[in-house]
Amino acid sequence: MSFLDGHRLMGSRWDFVVLILVLLISTVAEFSYGGRTSSFVRTANLSLDMPVDSDVFRVPPGYNAPQQVHITQGDHVGKGVLVSWVTPEEPGSNTVLYWAENTTLKKQADGIVLTYKYFNYTSGYIHHCTINDLEFDTKYYYEVGIGNTIRQFWFITPPEVGPDVPYTFGLIGDLGQTYDSNRTLTHYELNPAKGKTMLFVGDLSYANDYPFHDNTRWDTWGRFTERNAAYQPWIWTAGNHELDLAPELGEAIPFKPYKNRYHVPYRASYSTSPFWYSIRRASTYIIVMSSYSAFGKYTSQYKWLENELPKVNRTETPWLIVLMHSPLYNSYANHYMEGETMRVMYESWFVEYKVDVVFAGHVHAYERSERVSNIAYNIVNGMCTPISDQSAPVYITIGDGGNLEGLVTDMTEPQPSYSAYREASFGHGILDIKNRTHAYFSWHRNQDGYAVEADSVWLHNRYWNTLEESTLAALR
């Protein structure tokens, strides 16, 4: 062998060693945790409430004009829309007139009206009206009110439920009604990603933070959010601020204002309560859970979820999303381990049924987890550390809507390995579903333009990804 040949041989050996090293490093990089705590610097000021005479709370002109108009999905597949509004002085009309774009024939749906009392407050007349049997993927105009106070809005129904239907969801939690709340909503509205439906993860008005749970703050919140919630459905999750429990005021029924104001189509998923239910929309199956209702074994919520999860057909709706208020994985000091009881009850089901993402609020900050599970523990084995688990959901905390309680900045240290990214800033999320295998989640902090994604992740569908992997494995 010549010197040159030997050198070439050595060279190819070194190339081989370098190649192995690169492969090893990239493999380790893919499977090891790279948890990051953002160093973003923010002002320390508490969020200030917008005064009640702010533009955003303006009462629409005219006697008894409908206000606080908001819509949510009205059935299980998206052919129904539930329209709600309040008339302040008298019941007025319970009717919604609606028509598809480019048609002239106005159809009519009739709803119900109710009122409630809370301590020294009496609500306006709260209307709920479900429009059924709409066409998919169609723009509809609708009107509420009578006489010279008719108000007109519009919405677009989702495409028919199917596995490869792209769809874009917005995510906001813990919104409140401060200047920061307004920034969050405005930032979401102007996001070029154009969220079509809001997944709202609980804590709406924060009325209970005001003296005597001032329910007029439920009204101001309804007027504030109307500009978006009248035009796209908001999928509601109940948070602790919806409890409005005040036995000292004679108010001992949980969720009273929320339950009266925000109706949801819970019967369509055979739920017995508006606080837990499911819907299908485009290529997603969305399960809403209640952190503040009983969820132990044999409770109604437990039995419902036990029956519900096997019904999810991932060939029809590949994306399985769970919404709840209190996060199961949270490494901030605030509300630390509050979701632990629910995690112990349900995490193994989320892994078994390959939930793609669990979104929660409650913690006034942002955090995204790795795919981990912590379900191996039993009373004698001591195995209680989260481990990497590709069947597990990603847990995203997005309780950073901007309410008057301010941001949570205290974090547990060091950052646990399951926590991929955390940052205490106000913002919103966008879940952009591309097809059955890929979705893109991005988080946008209020201070930035849209070109800046403070955090983002490609989500590979848990059901279809696993199928692809096993098919590939079989081919090898």
Residues of this chain that bind Fe ion (CB under 5 A): 203, 239-240, 362
Q: Between residues 371 and 422, which has the closer beta carbon with respect to Fe ion?
A: 422
Least distance to Fe ion, CB of residue 175, Å: 11
Least distance to Fe ion, CB of residue 354, Å: 27
Least distance to Fe ion, CB of residue 239, Å: 4
Catalytic residue among 335, 364, 428, 444: 335
- CA–CA separation, 329 vs 202, rounded Å? 17
Least distance to Fe ion, CB of residue 331, Å: 17
Q: Between residues 281 and 364, which has the closer beta carbon with respect to Fe ion?
A: 364
- CA–CA separation, 330 vs 231, rounded Å? 33
Q: Between residues 397 and 461, which has the closer beta carbon with respect to Fe ion?
A: 397
Backbone dihedral angles phi then psi of residue 67, each to the nearest 5 degrees: -140, 170
Residue 335 a catalytic site member: yes
Least distance to Fe ion, CB of residue 386, Å: 23
Q: Between residues 238 and 282, which has the closer beta carbon with respect to Fe ion?
A: 238
Least distance to Fe ion, CB of residue 174, Å: 6
Least distance to Fe ion, CB of residue 255, Å: 13
Q: Between residues 181 and 240, which has the closer beta carbon with respect to Fe ion?
A: 240
- Pair of tokens at residue 92: 């007025």
Distances (CA, A) of 62 to 88, 96, 146, 227, 354: 11, 18, 11, 18, 51
Q: Between residues 213 and 362, which has the closer beta carbon with respect to Fe ion?
A: 362
Q: Which residue is nearest to Fe ion (CB)?
A: 362
Q: Between residues 362 and 444, which has the closer beta carbon with respect to Fe ion?
A: 362
Nearest CA-CA partner of 309 in 398, 431, 393, 399: 393
As annotated, the active-site residues are: 335
